[in-house]
Amino acid sequence: MEAFTSSSQEKDNGEHTLDQTCDNNLASYGSDVSGNTEGANLAQSSESTQPENMTSQSLMSRKHIEDALNQILDDVKNKRENDLHILSDVKKEIMNQATRVCQMLEVYMTHLHVTRSEQLDKQMLMLMSTLTKIQKLESELDKSKKSLSLLYEDIQGSSPFM
Q: What pTM was estimated for this model as a whole?
A: 0.40
User: What is the percent of the chain with per-residue pLDDT over 70, rounded to a whole number?
Assistant: 61
| pLDDT band, residue 40 (cuts 50/70/90) | very low
What pLDDT is attached to residue 108? 97
Is the per-residue pLDDT at 123 higher than 90? yes
Asked if residues 45 and 53 have their Cβ atoms less than 8 Å apart, the reply is yes
What distances in angstroms separate CA 86 from CA 57, 81, 115, one per listed residue? Answer: 42, 9, 43
* Mean pLDDT of the region 69-79: 96
CB-based burial label for 117 (10 Å; 0-12, 13-18, 19+): exposed
Indicate the DSSP class of residue 162.
-
Q: In the structure, what pLDDT confidence band is assigned to residue 61 with cuts at 50, 70 and 90?
A: confident
The DSSP letter of residue 120 is H
| Identity of residue 25 | N
Whole-angstrom distance, CA of residue 130 vs CA of residue 150:
30
